[in-house]
Amino acid sequence: MNGNLEFQYPWLLSLLALLPLYLVLRSRMGKPAALRFPSAELGRAAGLAARATAGRLLQVLRLLAVGLCMVALAGPRFANDRTETQASGVDIMLVLDLSWSMMALDMGGPNERVSRYDIASQVLEDFIRKRPSDRMGLIVFSAVPYLASPLTLNHDWLIDNLHRLHVGLIRDLGTAIGDATAAGAKRLKAIKDSKSRIMILLTDGDNNKGDIDPVPAAQLAAALGEKVYTIGIGIEEPCQLYAFEPTTGKLILDPNGGLRPVMTLQPANYSVLGKMAALSKAKFYRATSRHELQSIYNDIDRLEKTEVKLRRFTTYRPLFQWPLLAALGLFSLEMALVNTRLRRVP
């Protein structure tokens, strides 16, 4: 927002040029004497003295008052230039796998103890912050799906809820991709004024739980006009799952600070994710590292652009009353002086 002083009728300020012209012409004109004197020299001297004192002060007051009236007529005002953003946002349901396999450490750098879930949540947070005009919601799932956040524009609240999550929070073991997709489709359908609906499903496993298979769930979403982007994460070879505390989602270290492997995870079959994305004319992605996952969400961000329109307008606060009040004060002062201290003799 930018503010500046301006005049509604600036051409009226040119009238101010008449004031010095009037002053010049007025100084060349003499006043008829109010009293008769036996000597013209004495009368001329008295007239000059009167004009040089009282007359000059009253004349200055009158000219200032008239000048302020001209300024008021020009319409001084304070202009506020405003810009409003009107965004036609995209409604996005984020569907995040919270099964125990998300504790695998295969996507971090060398000697980096960061889980698949930690990387996914960090990339998700960055994606959320880059799209302030979109309503977003969050569904997490393991053997059952749970709504972590409804669709909202309050992204700080959504990110706070994301920070509260950890692997182990859902005690039911398994991966219910189909049920989670159906839950996301239902939530998106409930938004009546939506112009564009998409779902971004991230998982590291095969569907092995739930009442709805992934492909029928994706068909449901497609029938409702929703796109389902699918992301499969994890390396393409077996990796270790290490012991962790389900109540906190933290790794359990042995007395020497080492990790204790509990099972070997096999690579998931992500062909079903490709079918799900194809049904809704979206895209399927594979990520084996933090960098690849970040690139995927950047790509989705480019594909699903939010239409933003800028509306510019100006509001005005009139200021004409201030020079007008000042002029009135000067006129009042002039009248007071004329009728008291500087009163003229008839």
| Residue 310 forms part of a structural domain | no
| Residue 237 forms part of a structural domain | yes
| Residue 203 forms part of a structural domain | yes
Domain housing 143: 90-305
Q: Could you give the number of structural domains in the chain?
A: 2
| Residue 130 forms part of a structural domain | yes
The CATH number that applies at residue 139 is 3.40.50.410
- Looking at the structure, tell me whether residues 223 and 300 fall in a common domain: yes
- Looking at the structure, tell me whether residues 109 and 166 fall in a common domain: yes
- Looking at the structure, tell me whether residues 75 and 94 fall in a common domain: no
Residues 342 and 54: beta-carbon distance below 8 Å: yes
- Looking at the structure, tell me whether residues 240 and 323 fall in a common domain: no
Do you know the residue count of the chain? 346
CA-CA distances (angstroms) from residue 83 to 5, 71, 154?
Answer: 18, 30, 22
Rg over alpha carbons for the chain, rounded to the nearest Å, is: 40
pLDDT at 51: 47
Max Cα-Cα span within the chain: 130
What would the two tokens of residue 22 be? 């009037």
What would the two tokens of residue 26 be? 């007025």
- Looking at the structure, tell me whether residues 109 and 180 fall in a common domain: yes
Torsion of CA 197, 203, 208, 211, to 10 degrees: -20
Q: Give the list of residues 6+ apart from residue 311 with CB closer than 8 angstroms, or none.
A: 83, 84, 85, 86
- Looking at the structure, tell me whether residues 189 and 300 fall in a common domain: yes
| Residue 272 forms part of a structural domain | yes
- Looking at the structure, tell me whether residues 124 and 186 fall in a common domain: yes
- Looking at the structure, tell me whether residues 47 and 143 fall in a common domain: no
Question: Measuring CA to CA, which residue among 145, 186, 293 is closest to residue 230?
Answer: 293
- Looking at the structure, tell me whether residues 172 and 255 fall in a common domain: yes
Average pLDDT per consecutive 10 residues, the chain (346 residues; last block may be shorter): 78 83 68 51 50 66 83 85 66 96 92 94 96 94 96 95 96 95 95 88 95 96 96 94 95 92 93 96 96 96 73 77 86 80 60
- Looking at the structure, tell me whether residues 61 and 115 fall in a common domain: no
Q: DSSP labels for 14-27?
A: GGGGHHHHHHHHHH
| Residue 313 forms part of a structural domain | no
Neighbours of 208 (CB within 10 A): 12
| Residue 311 forms part of a structural domain | no
- Looking at the structure, tell me whether residues 34 and 144 fall in a common domain: no
| Residue 220 forms part of a structural domain | yes
C-alpha 217/C-alpha 277 separation (Å) is: 11
pLDDT at 193: 78
pLDDT at 137: 97
What angle do helix axes 177-189 and 214-223 make, rounded to 10 degrees? 10
- Looking at the structure, tell me whether residues 241 and 102 fall in a common domain: yes
